[in-house]
Chain A
Amino acid sequence: MSESEDVLLRVVGLKTYFSLRRGLVKAVDGVNFFLKKGEVLGLIGESACGKSVTGLSILRLIPDPPGRIVGGHIYFEGEDLVSKSEGEMRKLRGSRITMIQQNPDSSLNPVFRIGDQVGEAITAFQKLPKKVLSERVVEMLRLVKIAAPASRARDYPHQMSGGMRQRVAGAIALSCRASLLIADEPTTNLDVTTQGEYIKLLQDIQQDTGIGIIFITHDFGIVSQICDRVAVMYAGKIVETGPTIDVMEKPLHPYTMALLDAVPRPGSRGTLLRSIEGQPPDPVNLPATCSFAVRCSRAAERCTKEVPGETKISDDHYVSCFYAG
Protein backbone atom coordinates (compact mmCIF):
# COMPACT_ATOMS: atom_id res chain seq x y z
CA MET A 1 0.00 0.00 0.00
CA SER A 2 1.72 3.17 -1.10
CA GLU A 3 1.60 5.85 1.49
CA SER A 4 1.86 9.56 0.98
CA GLU A 5 5.17 10.74 2.37
CA ASP A 6 3.83 12.75 5.23
CA VAL A 7 1.43 10.24 6.76
CA LEU A 8 2.98 8.82 9.91
CA LEU A 9 0.17 6.59 11.05
CA ARG A 10 -2.89 5.29 9.31
CA VAL A 11 -5.46 3.18 11.12
CA VAL A 12 -7.90 1.32 8.90
CA GLY A 13 -10.92 -0.58 10.16
CA LEU A 14 -9.38 -1.34 13.54
CA LYS A 15 -11.39 -3.75 15.65
CA THR A 16 -10.40 -4.71 19.16
CA TYR A 17 -12.78 -6.98 21.00
CA PHE A 18 -12.81 -8.31 24.56
CA SER A 19 -14.34 -11.68 25.43
CA LEU A 20 -15.76 -11.26 28.89
CA ARG A 21 -17.91 -13.73 30.74
CA ARG A 22 -20.93 -11.50 30.38
CA GLY A 23 -20.53 -11.08 26.65
CA LEU A 24 -18.45 -9.68 23.82
CA VAL A 25 -17.27 -6.11 24.26
CA LYS A 26 -16.53 -4.40 20.97
CA ALA A 27 -14.29 -1.81 22.55
CA VAL A 28 -13.02 -0.55 19.20
CA ASP A 29 -15.34 -1.36 16.32
CA GLY A 30 -14.10 -0.33 12.92
CA VAL A 31 -12.08 2.81 13.49
CA ASN A 32 -10.36 4.81 10.72
CA PHE A 33 -8.08 7.77 11.11
CA PHE A 34 -4.64 9.01 10.15
CA LEU A 35 -1.92 11.15 11.64
CA LYS A 36 0.49 13.22 9.58
CA LYS A 37 4.09 13.73 10.60
CA GLY A 38 4.41 16.49 13.16
CA GLU A 39 0.68 16.70 13.70
CA VAL A 40 -1.36 16.46 16.88
CA LEU A 41 -4.57 14.46 16.61
CA GLY A 42 -7.03 14.54 19.45
CA LEU A 43 -9.04 11.44 20.28
CA ILE A 44 -11.93 12.64 22.36
CA GLY A 45 -14.74 10.78 24.04
CA GLU A 46 -16.10 9.73 27.41
CA SER A 47 -15.30 6.67 29.43
CA ALA A 48 -15.65 3.29 27.70
CA CYS A 49 -15.80 4.91 24.23
CA GLY A 50 -12.69 3.02 23.20
CA LYS A 51 -10.16 5.83 23.02
CA SER A 52 -7.70 4.30 25.48
CA VAL A 53 -8.10 0.86 23.91
CA THR A 54 -7.28 2.44 20.55
CA GLY A 55 -4.06 3.84 21.96
CA LEU A 56 -3.14 0.50 23.51
CA SER A 57 -4.00 -1.31 20.27
CA ILE A 58 -1.51 0.81 18.36
CA LEU A 59 1.13 -0.20 20.85
CA ARG A 60 -0.16 -3.77 20.71
CA LEU A 61 -0.49 -3.79 24.50
CA ILE A 62 -3.95 -5.29 24.66
CA PRO A 63 -4.00 -8.09 27.27
CA ASP A 64 -4.77 -11.40 25.60
CA PRO A 65 -6.91 -12.88 27.15
CA PRO A 66 -9.45 -11.37 27.24
CA GLY A 67 -8.88 -8.89 24.44
CA ARG A 68 -7.50 -9.10 20.94
CA ILE A 69 -7.26 -7.15 17.74
CA VAL A 70 -9.68 -9.04 15.55
CA GLY A 71 -9.51 -6.95 12.42
CA GLY A 72 -8.09 -3.97 10.62
CA HIS A 73 -4.65 -2.54 9.99
CA ILE A 74 -2.39 -0.09 11.73
CA TYR A 75 0.10 1.31 9.24
CA PHE A 76 3.00 2.97 11.01
CA GLU A 77 5.67 4.43 8.73
CA GLY A 78 4.29 2.18 6.03
CA GLU A 79 4.31 -1.11 7.95
CA ASP A 80 1.28 -2.90 9.37
CA LEU A 81 1.69 -3.22 13.15
CA VAL A 82 -1.13 -5.73 13.45
CA SER A 83 0.85 -8.40 11.64
CA LYS A 84 4.10 -7.85 13.54
CA SER A 85 5.37 -10.32 16.07
CA GLU A 86 5.75 -9.49 19.74
CA GLY A 87 9.51 -9.33 19.36
CA GLU A 88 9.25 -6.80 16.55
CA MET A 89 6.77 -4.73 18.55
CA ARG A 90 9.10 -4.70 21.51
CA LYS A 91 11.75 -3.10 19.33
CA LEU A 92 9.33 -0.40 18.29
CA ARG A 93 7.96 0.41 21.72
CA GLY A 94 10.12 2.86 23.57
CA SER A 95 12.11 3.62 20.47
CA ARG A 96 9.81 4.64 17.62
CA ILE A 97 6.49 4.76 19.45
CA THR A 98 6.16 5.90 23.03
CA MET A 99 3.43 6.63 25.57
CA ILE A 100 2.53 8.88 28.50
CA GLN A 101 -0.31 7.81 30.74
CA GLN A 102 -2.80 9.49 32.98
CA ASN A 103 -1.36 8.47 36.29
CA PRO A 104 2.32 9.34 36.65
CA ASP A 105 2.53 7.24 39.77
CA SER A 106 2.09 4.04 37.80
CA SER A 107 4.77 5.06 35.30
CA LEU A 108 7.38 5.78 37.95
CA ASN A 109 8.93 3.21 40.22
CA PRO A 110 8.90 4.62 43.76
CA VAL A 111 12.11 2.91 44.83
CA PHE A 112 14.40 4.30 42.16
CA ARG A 113 15.69 7.80 41.74
CA ILE A 114 14.15 9.61 38.82
CA GLY A 115 17.53 10.17 37.18
CA ASP A 116 18.07 6.42 37.15
CA GLN A 117 14.67 5.83 35.64
CA VAL A 118 15.26 8.31 32.84
CA GLY A 119 18.70 6.78 32.37
CA GLU A 120 17.18 3.32 32.11
CA ALA A 121 14.83 4.51 29.40
CA ILE A 122 17.69 6.04 27.43
CA THR A 123 19.80 2.91 27.81
CA ALA A 124 17.02 0.69 26.51
CA PHE A 125 17.20 2.67 23.34
CA GLN A 126 20.94 3.27 23.01
CA LYS A 127 23.94 2.23 25.07
CA LEU A 128 26.00 5.16 26.32
CA PRO A 129 29.05 5.48 28.55
CA LYS A 130 28.22 6.54 32.10
CA LYS A 131 29.29 10.15 31.85
CA VAL A 132 27.50 10.72 28.58
CA LEU A 133 24.41 9.07 30.02
CA SER A 134 24.29 11.42 33.00
CA GLU A 135 24.57 14.37 30.68
CA ARG A 136 21.76 13.05 28.53
CA VAL A 137 19.58 12.55 31.60
CA VAL A 138 20.11 16.15 32.64
CA GLU A 139 19.40 17.23 29.08
CA MET A 140 16.08 15.34 29.07
CA LEU A 141 15.05 16.80 32.40
CA ARG A 142 15.86 20.24 31.14
CA LEU A 143 13.82 19.54 28.02
CA VAL A 144 10.74 18.99 30.19
CA LYS A 145 11.50 22.25 32.04
CA ILE A 146 12.45 20.80 35.40
CA ALA A 147 14.43 23.43 37.26
CA ALA A 148 17.87 22.46 38.63
CA PRO A 149 17.85 19.19 36.69
CA ALA A 150 21.20 17.93 37.88
CA SER A 151 20.21 17.92 41.53
CA ARG A 152 16.62 16.85 40.93
CA ALA A 153 17.84 13.79 39.11
CA ARG A 154 18.78 12.41 42.49
CA ASP A 155 15.25 12.78 43.88
CA TYR A 156 12.79 9.97 44.39
CA PRO A 157 9.31 10.25 42.86
CA HIS A 158 7.59 10.92 46.17
CA GLN A 159 9.74 13.98 46.68
CA MET A 160 8.21 15.62 43.66
CA SER A 161 4.79 17.07 43.03
CA GLY A 162 2.28 15.48 40.65
CA GLY A 163 3.03 17.93 37.89
CA MET A 164 6.75 17.28 38.09
CA ARG A 165 6.24 13.53 38.12
CA GLN A 166 4.24 13.86 34.95
CA ARG A 167 7.06 15.84 33.42
CA VAL A 168 9.50 13.08 34.38
CA ALA A 169 7.15 10.57 32.78
CA GLY A 170 7.32 12.78 29.72
CA ALA A 171 11.13 12.80 29.83
CA ILE A 172 11.14 9.01 30.04
CA ALA A 173 8.74 8.72 27.14
CA LEU A 174 10.61 11.17 24.95
CA SER A 175 14.14 10.03 25.70
CA CYS A 176 14.15 7.74 22.72
CA ARG A 177 13.48 10.29 19.98
CA ALA A 178 10.32 8.49 18.93
CA SER A 179 8.30 9.67 15.96
CA LEU A 180 4.92 8.92 17.55
CA LEU A 181 3.75 9.76 21.05
CA ILE A 182 0.50 8.44 22.46
CA ALA A 183 -0.58 10.64 25.35
CA ASP A 184 -3.47 9.08 27.27
CA GLU A 185 -5.10 11.83 29.33
CA PRO A 186 -1.76 13.03 30.74
CA THR A 187 -3.23 16.15 32.34
CA THR A 188 -6.41 14.78 33.89
CA ASN A 189 -4.91 14.35 37.33
CA LEU A 190 -3.10 17.68 37.36
CA ASP A 191 -4.20 20.96 38.86
CA VAL A 192 -5.79 23.28 36.37
CA THR A 193 -3.01 25.89 36.52
CA THR A 194 -0.42 23.16 36.05
CA GLN A 195 -2.36 21.66 33.14
CA GLY A 196 -1.85 24.75 31.03
CA GLU A 197 1.90 24.65 31.60
CA TYR A 198 2.10 20.97 30.76
CA ILE A 199 0.19 21.38 27.53
CA LYS A 200 2.46 24.27 26.58
CA LEU A 201 5.45 22.04 27.34
CA LEU A 202 4.14 19.35 25.02
CA GLN A 203 3.53 21.95 22.34
CA ASP A 204 7.09 23.26 22.60
CA ILE A 205 8.58 19.79 22.44
CA GLN A 206 6.34 18.93 19.56
CA GLN A 207 7.43 21.95 17.58
CA ASP A 208 11.11 21.31 18.33
CA THR A 209 11.21 17.61 17.56
CA GLY A 210 8.39 17.25 15.04
CA ILE A 211 7.01 14.27 16.90
CA GLY A 212 3.49 13.18 16.00
CA ILE A 213 1.08 13.05 18.93
CA ILE A 214 -2.18 11.23 19.47
CA PHE A 215 -3.74 13.05 22.39
CA ILE A 216 -6.45 11.08 24.16
CA THR A 217 -8.77 13.21 26.28
CA HIS A 218 -12.36 13.94 27.29
CA ASP A 219 -11.88 17.71 27.39
CA PHE A 220 -12.55 19.89 24.39
CA GLY A 221 -10.72 22.72 26.12
CA ILE A 222 -7.48 20.78 25.85
CA VAL A 223 -8.27 19.74 22.30
CA SER A 224 -8.64 23.38 21.31
CA GLN A 225 -5.27 24.18 22.87
CA ILE A 226 -3.04 21.58 21.33
CA CYS A 227 -4.76 19.47 18.67
CA ASP A 228 -4.62 20.25 14.97
CA ARG A 229 -7.32 17.72 14.18
CA VAL A 230 -9.76 15.82 16.32
CA ALA A 231 -11.67 12.53 16.14
CA VAL A 232 -14.74 12.11 18.32
CA MET A 233 -15.41 8.59 19.58
CA TYR A 234 -18.58 7.03 20.88
CA ALA A 235 -19.21 3.39 21.76
CA GLY A 236 -16.19 2.12 19.90
CA LYS A 237 -16.64 4.10 16.72
CA ILE A 238 -15.49 7.44 15.43
CA VAL A 239 -18.52 9.62 14.83
CA GLU A 240 -16.85 12.76 13.56
CA THR A 241 -13.37 13.77 12.55
CA GLY A 242 -11.86 16.90 11.12
CA PRO A 243 -9.73 19.99 11.83
CA THR A 244 -10.24 21.15 15.41
CA ILE A 245 -11.48 24.58 14.46
CA ASP A 246 -14.08 23.17 12.08
CA VAL A 247 -15.35 20.50 14.43
CA MET A 248 -15.61 22.84 17.39
CA GLU A 249 -17.19 25.74 15.54
CA LYS A 250 -19.46 23.76 13.23
CA PRO A 251 -20.00 20.36 14.79
CA LEU A 252 -22.05 18.07 12.63
CA HIS A 253 -22.71 14.97 14.67
CA PRO A 254 -25.39 15.30 17.37
CA TYR A 255 -23.05 13.75 19.92
CA THR A 256 -20.28 16.24 19.20
CA MET A 257 -22.78 19.04 19.52
CA ALA A 258 -24.07 17.67 22.78
CA LEU A 259 -20.57 17.25 24.16
CA LEU A 260 -19.72 20.86 23.35
CA ASP A 261 -23.01 22.07 24.83
CA ALA A 262 -22.62 20.18 28.07
CA VAL A 263 -19.86 22.43 29.38
CA PRO A 264 -20.98 25.48 31.33
CA ARG A 265 -19.66 28.84 30.28
CA PRO A 266 -19.61 32.16 32.09
CA GLY A 267 -22.99 33.76 32.04
CA SER A 268 -24.86 30.47 32.02
CA ARG A 269 -25.40 30.66 35.74
CA GLY A 270 -28.60 29.18 37.04
CA THR A 271 -29.76 27.99 33.66
CA LEU A 272 -30.22 24.38 32.82
CA LEU A 273 -27.56 23.08 30.46
CA ARG A 274 -28.55 21.22 27.37
CA SER A 275 -27.79 17.74 28.55
CA ILE A 276 -28.08 14.45 26.76
CA GLU A 277 -30.58 12.01 28.19
CA GLY A 278 -29.46 8.56 29.22
CA GLN A 279 -25.93 7.31 29.49
CA PRO A 280 -23.27 5.79 27.25
CA PRO A 281 -24.41 2.31 26.20
CA ASP A 282 -23.33 -0.90 27.87
CA PRO A 283 -20.41 -1.95 25.69
CA VAL A 284 -21.44 -5.59 25.89
CA ASN A 285 -23.31 -6.94 22.90
CA LEU A 286 -23.91 -3.70 21.04
CA PRO A 287 -26.57 -4.01 18.36
CA ALA A 288 -25.86 -3.17 14.73
CA THR A 289 -27.48 0.25 14.72
CA CYS A 290 -26.27 3.77 15.31
CA SER A 291 -25.17 3.52 18.94
CA PHE A 292 -26.15 7.08 19.68
CA ALA A 293 -29.70 6.77 18.33
CA VAL A 294 -31.25 6.09 21.75
CA ARG A 295 -30.04 9.41 23.10
CA CYS A 296 -30.25 11.44 19.92
CA SER A 297 -32.77 14.22 19.56
CA ARG A 298 -32.70 13.77 15.80
CA ALA A 299 -33.01 10.02 15.65
CA ALA A 300 -35.27 8.62 12.99
CA GLU A 301 -36.35 5.13 11.94
CA ARG A 302 -33.23 4.50 9.89
CA CYS A 303 -30.95 5.14 12.83
CA THR A 304 -32.34 2.22 14.77
CA LYS A 305 -31.87 -0.20 11.90
CA GLU A 306 -28.50 0.47 10.33
CA VAL A 307 -25.02 1.61 11.23
CA PRO A 308 -24.23 4.91 9.50
CA GLY A 309 -21.15 4.96 7.32
CA GLU A 310 -18.69 7.79 6.89
CA THR A 311 -19.92 10.82 5.00
CA LYS A 312 -17.38 13.26 3.63
CA ILE A 313 -18.52 16.79 4.32
CA SER A 314 -15.47 18.67 3.16
CA ASP A 315 -11.87 17.94 2.39
CA ASP A 316 -10.94 16.85 5.83
CA HIS A 317 -14.18 16.72 7.76
CA TYR A 318 -15.97 13.38 8.02
CA VAL A 319 -19.04 12.44 10.00
CA SER A 320 -20.93 9.19 10.64
CA CYS A 321 -24.55 10.16 10.72
CA PHE A 322 -27.49 9.76 8.36
CA TYR A 323 -28.66 13.29 8.91
CA ALA A 324 -25.57 15.45 9.03
CA GLY A 325 -24.40 18.00 6.53
Chain B
Amino acid sequence: MQNGKNGQGMRLNLGILPAFFILALFIFAAVFANYLAPFSPTEINLSNARLTPLSVVGGVTYWLGTDQLGRDILSRIIYGARVSLIVATIGVFAAGSIGSILGIIAGYRGGAIDSIISRSVDVMLGFPTILLALVLAIVFRPSLFGVALVVILIYWARYARQARGETLKIRTMDYVTLARTAGCSDLTIMMRHIFPNVVNSLLVLATFNVGTVITLEATLSFLGAGIPPPTPSWGTMCADGRGILVSAWWVSFMPGIAITLVVLSSNLFGDWLRDKLDPQLRDL
Protein backbone atom coordinates (compact mmCIF):
# COMPACT_ATOMS: atom_id res chain seq x y z
CA MET B 1 0.00 0.00 0.00
CA GLN B 2 1.39 3.34 -0.99
CA ASN B 3 1.35 6.32 1.23
CA GLY B 4 2.40 9.92 1.69
CA LYS B 5 5.93 11.09 2.21
CA ASN B 6 8.25 8.30 3.10
CA GLY B 7 11.05 9.24 5.42
CA GLN B 8 13.71 7.54 7.37
CA GLY B 9 12.19 4.25 8.23
CA MET B 10 13.36 2.53 11.41
CA ARG B 11 16.13 4.22 13.34
CA LEU B 12 19.27 2.13 13.64
CA ASN B 13 19.61 1.17 17.27
CA LEU B 14 22.79 -0.83 16.79
CA GLY B 15 25.09 2.19 16.80
CA ILE B 16 24.60 2.91 20.45
CA LEU B 17 25.92 -0.38 21.84
CA PRO B 18 29.60 0.19 21.06
CA ALA B 19 29.25 3.69 22.53
CA PHE B 20 27.82 2.29 25.76
CA PHE B 21 30.58 -0.27 25.84
CA ILE B 22 33.37 2.25 25.37
CA LEU B 23 31.95 4.61 27.98
CA ALA B 24 31.57 1.75 30.43
CA LEU B 25 35.13 0.67 29.74
CA PHE B 26 36.34 4.23 30.21
CA ILE B 27 34.70 4.56 33.61
CA PHE B 28 35.79 1.12 34.67
CA ALA B 29 39.38 1.82 33.67
CA ALA B 30 39.40 5.10 35.53
CA VAL B 31 38.01 3.63 38.72
CA PHE B 32 39.99 0.41 38.79
CA ALA B 33 43.20 1.70 37.22
CA ASN B 34 45.24 0.31 40.07
CA TYR B 35 44.11 -3.24 39.31
CA LEU B 36 43.91 -3.01 35.57
CA ALA B 37 47.18 -1.41 34.59
CA PRO B 38 49.85 -4.00 33.98
CA PHE B 39 52.66 -1.58 34.87
CA SER B 40 53.22 1.56 36.83
CA PRO B 41 52.40 4.55 34.63
CA THR B 42 55.29 6.64 35.84
CA GLU B 43 58.14 4.17 36.16
CA ILE B 44 60.90 5.09 33.85
CA ASN B 45 62.83 2.28 32.24
CA LEU B 46 65.15 3.61 29.57
CA SER B 47 66.21 0.20 28.39
CA ASN B 48 62.67 -0.43 27.21
CA ALA B 49 62.27 2.89 25.46
CA ARG B 50 60.25 3.14 22.24
CA LEU B 51 59.07 -0.42 22.08
CA THR B 52 56.54 -0.99 19.33
CA PRO B 53 53.06 -2.18 20.25
CA LEU B 54 52.80 -5.89 21.00
CA SER B 55 56.49 -6.11 21.82
CA VAL B 56 57.39 -8.89 24.20
CA VAL B 57 60.35 -8.30 26.48
CA GLY B 58 61.37 -10.70 29.16
CA GLY B 59 58.10 -12.68 28.84
CA VAL B 60 56.01 -9.54 29.34
CA THR B 61 53.87 -7.98 26.62
CA TYR B 62 53.75 -4.23 26.09
CA TRP B 63 50.39 -4.18 24.32
CA LEU B 64 50.56 -0.60 23.14
CA GLY B 65 54.29 -0.15 23.25
CA THR B 66 56.33 2.28 25.35
CA ASP B 67 57.29 5.91 25.06
CA GLN B 68 60.75 7.43 24.88
CA LEU B 69 61.18 7.01 28.66
CA GLY B 70 60.19 3.37 28.58
CA ARG B 71 56.85 3.95 30.24
CA ASP B 72 54.07 1.54 29.24
CA ILE B 73 51.58 3.33 27.01
CA LEU B 74 48.65 1.10 27.95
CA SER B 75 49.09 1.70 31.66
CA ARG B 76 49.42 5.43 31.08
CA ILE B 77 46.26 5.44 29.05
CA ILE B 78 44.40 3.61 31.80
CA TYR B 79 45.59 6.07 34.43
CA GLY B 80 44.99 8.91 32.04
CA ALA B 81 41.37 7.87 31.90
CA ARG B 82 41.19 8.65 35.59
CA VAL B 83 42.38 12.19 35.03
CA SER B 84 39.94 12.71 32.17
CA LEU B 85 37.08 11.27 34.17
CA ILE B 86 37.78 13.41 37.22
CA VAL B 87 38.04 16.60 35.21
CA ALA B 88 34.97 15.72 33.17
CA THR B 89 32.89 14.78 36.20
CA ILE B 90 33.82 17.71 38.40
CA GLY B 91 33.86 20.16 35.55
CA VAL B 92 30.57 19.17 33.99
CA PHE B 93 28.80 18.71 37.30
CA ALA B 94 29.95 22.00 38.75
CA ALA B 95 29.58 24.00 35.55
CA GLY B 96 26.22 22.38 34.97
CA SER B 97 24.90 23.07 38.44
CA ILE B 98 26.08 26.64 38.66
CA GLY B 99 25.09 27.46 35.10
CA SER B 100 21.67 25.86 35.37
CA ILE B 101 20.82 27.61 38.61
CA LEU B 102 21.85 30.97 37.25
CA GLY B 103 19.99 30.32 34.01
CA ILE B 104 16.79 29.35 35.77
CA ILE B 105 16.93 32.39 38.02
CA ALA B 106 17.58 34.66 35.07
CA GLY B 107 14.73 33.14 33.05
CA TYR B 108 12.23 33.14 35.86
CA ARG B 109 12.90 36.46 37.53
CA GLY B 110 13.68 38.53 34.48
CA GLY B 111 14.43 42.18 34.96
CA ALA B 112 17.77 43.35 36.29
CA ILE B 113 18.94 39.92 37.45
CA ASP B 114 18.27 38.54 34.00
CA SER B 115 20.16 41.38 32.38
CA ILE B 116 23.22 40.87 34.54
CA ILE B 117 23.33 37.12 34.09
CA SER B 118 22.56 37.24 30.38
CA ARG B 119 25.21 39.81 29.67
CA SER B 120 27.74 37.71 31.60
CA VAL B 121 26.73 34.71 29.55
CA ASP B 122 27.15 36.68 26.34
CA VAL B 123 30.62 37.79 27.40
CA MET B 124 31.71 34.27 28.34
CA LEU B 125 30.39 32.79 25.13
CA GLY B 126 32.02 35.49 23.10
CA PHE B 127 35.52 34.67 24.24
CA PRO B 128 37.55 32.17 22.25
CA THR B 129 37.66 29.13 24.48
CA ILE B 130 41.26 28.07 24.11
CA LEU B 131 42.63 31.53 24.56
CA LEU B 132 40.60 32.05 27.68
CA ALA B 133 41.51 28.62 28.95
CA LEU B 134 45.19 29.28 28.46
CA VAL B 135 45.07 32.59 30.25
CA LEU B 136 43.11 31.15 33.14
CA ALA B 137 45.31 28.10 33.30
CA ILE B 138 48.40 30.21 33.62
CA VAL B 139 46.78 32.32 36.30
CA PHE B 140 45.76 29.28 38.33
CA ARG B 141 49.05 27.44 37.82
CA PRO B 142 48.91 24.11 35.98
CA SER B 143 47.20 21.57 38.24
CA LEU B 144 44.19 19.30 38.35
CA PHE B 145 42.32 21.80 40.44
CA GLY B 146 43.25 24.57 38.08
CA VAL B 147 41.97 22.69 35.06
CA ALA B 148 38.71 21.92 36.78
CA LEU B 149 38.30 25.59 37.65
CA VAL B 150 38.98 26.62 34.08
CA VAL B 151 36.36 24.18 32.85
CA ILE B 152 33.78 25.56 35.24
CA LEU B 153 34.48 29.17 34.35
CA ILE B 154 34.28 28.51 30.65
CA TYR B 155 31.31 26.18 30.41
CA TRP B 156 28.82 27.45 32.99
CA ALA B 157 27.56 29.94 30.42
CA ARG B 158 26.35 27.25 28.03
CA TYR B 159 24.19 25.71 30.70
CA ALA B 160 22.93 29.08 31.79
CA ARG B 161 21.84 29.95 28.29
CA GLN B 162 20.07 26.64 27.76
CA ALA B 163 18.42 26.72 31.17
CA ARG B 164 17.24 30.27 30.66
CA GLY B 165 15.70 29.47 27.29
CA GLU B 166 13.85 26.45 28.64
CA THR B 167 12.74 28.38 31.71
CA LEU B 168 11.21 31.10 29.56
CA LYS B 169 9.06 28.46 27.90
CA ILE B 170 8.04 26.69 31.09
CA ARG B 171 7.28 29.94 32.84
CA THR B 172 4.24 30.51 30.64
CA MET B 173 2.68 27.14 31.44
CA ASP B 174 -0.59 27.10 33.34
CA TYR B 175 0.77 24.98 36.15
CA VAL B 176 3.30 27.68 36.95
CA THR B 177 0.57 30.32 36.92
CA LEU B 178 -1.48 28.11 39.22
CA ALA B 179 1.43 27.79 41.62
CA ARG B 180 1.83 31.56 41.74
CA THR B 181 -1.90 31.98 42.26
CA ALA B 182 -1.71 29.55 45.14
CA GLY B 183 0.85 31.83 46.72
CA CYS B 184 3.97 29.69 46.32
CA SER B 185 7.27 31.48 46.66
CA ASP B 186 9.55 31.97 43.67
CA LEU B 187 12.05 29.53 45.11
CA THR B 188 9.44 26.82 45.53
CA ILE B 189 8.24 27.33 41.99
CA MET B 190 11.74 27.19 40.56
CA MET B 191 12.55 24.00 42.42
CA ARG B 192 9.25 22.20 42.07
CA HIS B 193 8.08 23.24 38.63
CA ILE B 194 10.85 24.78 36.58
CA PHE B 195 13.85 22.62 37.38
CA PRO B 196 12.30 19.14 36.87
CA ASN B 197 10.96 20.19 33.50
CA VAL B 198 14.22 21.71 32.39
CA VAL B 199 16.63 19.10 33.68
CA ASN B 200 16.27 16.70 30.75
CA SER B 201 17.64 19.06 28.15
CA LEU B 202 20.43 20.00 30.54
CA LEU B 203 21.39 16.35 30.94
CA VAL B 204 21.67 16.01 27.20
CA LEU B 205 23.84 19.11 27.11
CA ALA B 206 26.00 17.62 29.84
CA THR B 207 26.65 14.42 27.90
CA PHE B 208 27.81 16.42 24.92
CA ASN B 209 29.83 18.60 27.23
CA VAL B 210 31.76 15.62 28.57
CA GLY B 211 33.42 15.17 25.22
CA THR B 212 34.20 18.86 24.94
CA VAL B 213 35.72 18.97 28.40
CA ILE B 214 37.92 15.97 27.81
CA THR B 215 39.15 17.56 24.61
CA LEU B 216 39.76 20.85 26.38
CA GLU B 217 41.75 19.19 29.13
CA ALA B 218 43.76 17.27 26.56
CA THR B 219 44.42 20.45 24.61
CA LEU B 220 45.53 22.34 27.69
CA SER B 221 47.79 19.53 28.78
CA PHE B 222 49.16 19.26 25.26
CA LEU B 223 50.01 22.95 25.39
CA GLY B 224 51.63 22.49 28.75
CA ALA B 225 49.04 24.45 30.65
CA GLY B 226 47.13 21.50 32.02
CA ILE B 227 47.98 18.59 34.26
CA PRO B 228 51.67 18.73 35.07
CA PRO B 229 53.90 15.65 34.75
CA PRO B 230 54.38 13.02 35.92
CA THR B 231 50.57 12.45 36.19
CA PRO B 232 49.59 10.85 32.92
CA SER B 233 47.03 12.78 30.94
CA TRP B 234 46.05 11.89 27.44
CA GLY B 235 46.85 15.39 26.30
CA THR B 236 50.30 15.36 27.78
CA MET B 237 50.90 11.96 26.23
CA CYS B 238 50.07 13.35 22.80
CA ALA B 239 52.49 16.18 23.41
CA ASP B 240 55.19 13.81 24.53
CA GLY B 241 55.11 11.95 21.26
CA ARG B 242 55.14 15.01 19.05
CA GLY B 243 58.83 14.99 18.34
CA ILE B 244 58.96 11.30 17.43
CA LEU B 245 55.84 11.03 15.31
CA VAL B 246 57.63 9.33 12.48
CA SER B 247 59.78 6.92 14.38
CA ALA B 248 57.48 6.07 17.29
CA TRP B 249 54.03 7.06 16.07
CA TRP B 250 52.23 5.03 18.72
CA VAL B 251 53.27 7.32 21.52
CA SER B 252 50.94 10.07 20.32
CA PHE B 253 48.61 7.92 18.30
CA MET B 254 47.32 5.70 21.11
CA PRO B 255 46.22 8.46 23.47
CA GLY B 256 44.79 10.27 20.46
CA ILE B 257 42.64 7.23 19.68
CA ALA B 258 41.54 7.05 23.28
CA ILE B 259 40.38 10.67 23.22
CA THR B 260 38.58 10.19 19.92
CA LEU B 261 36.75 7.08 21.04
CA VAL B 262 35.57 8.51 24.33
CA VAL B 263 34.44 11.83 22.85
CA LEU B 264 32.66 10.10 20.00
CA SER B 265 30.95 7.70 22.38
CA SER B 266 29.76 10.45 24.66
CA ASN B 267 28.35 12.35 21.69
CA LEU B 268 26.49 9.28 20.49
CA PHE B 269 25.24 8.77 24.00
CA GLY B 270 24.01 12.35 24.02
CA ASP B 271 22.13 11.81 20.75
CA TRP B 272 20.57 8.66 22.11
CA LEU B 273 19.61 10.31 25.39
CA ARG B 274 18.02 13.24 23.63
CA ASP B 275 15.92 10.99 21.43
CA LYS B 276 14.94 8.90 24.43
CA LEU B 277 13.88 11.89 26.49
CA ASP B 278 12.03 13.69 23.73
CA PRO B 279 8.36 13.02 24.36
CA GLN B 280 7.39 13.59 20.75
CA LEU B 281 9.64 10.85 19.49
CA ARG B 282 8.62 8.53 22.27
CA ASP B 283 5.83 6.82 20.41
CA LEU B 284 7.75 5.90 17.29
Interface residues of A (CB under 8 A from B): 20-22, 60-71, 82-86, 89
Contact = CB atoms under 8 A, between A and B. Distances in A.
B284 A62 contact: no
A63 B9 contact: no
B6 interface: yes
A65 B7 contact: yes
Given A65-B9, A66-B284, A83-B2, 13 more contacts: A22-B283, A60-B2, A60-B4, A63-B7, A64-B3, A64-B4, A64-B5, A64-B6, A65-B284, A68-B3, A69-B3, A71-B1, A86-B6
| Leading 6 A-B pairs by shortest Cβ distance | A64-B3, A20-B283, A68-B3, A61-B4, A62-B4, A60-B4
Contact of B4 (A22, A63, A70, A83): A63
Contacts of A67: 3
B9 A86 contact: no
B2 A21 contact: no
Contacts of B283: 20-22, 66
Interface of B: 1-7, 9-10, 282-284
Contact of B3 (A22, A62, A71): A62
Nearest to A83: B2
Contacts of A64: 3-7
A104 B282 CA distance: 28
Contacts of B2: 60, 69, 82-86
A89 B284 CA distance: 26
Contacts of A61: 4
A86 B1 CA distance: 12
A61 B5 CA distance: 7
A94 to B, nearest CB: 14
A71 B2 CA distance: 10
Nearest to A21: B283
Contacts of B9: 65
18 contacts: A20-B284, A21-B282, A21-B283, A22-B283, A62-B3, A64-B3, A64-B5, A64-B7, A65-B9, A68-B1, A68-B3, A69-B1, A69-B2, A71-B1, A82-B1, A86-B4, A86-B6, A89-B4
A267 B4 CA distance: 49
A22 to B, nearest CB: 7
Contacts of B284: 20-21, 65-66
A58 to B, nearest CB: 11
Contacts of A62: 3-4
Contacts of A70: 1
A60 B282 contact: no
A69 B282 CA distance: 22
A81 to B, nearest CB: 10
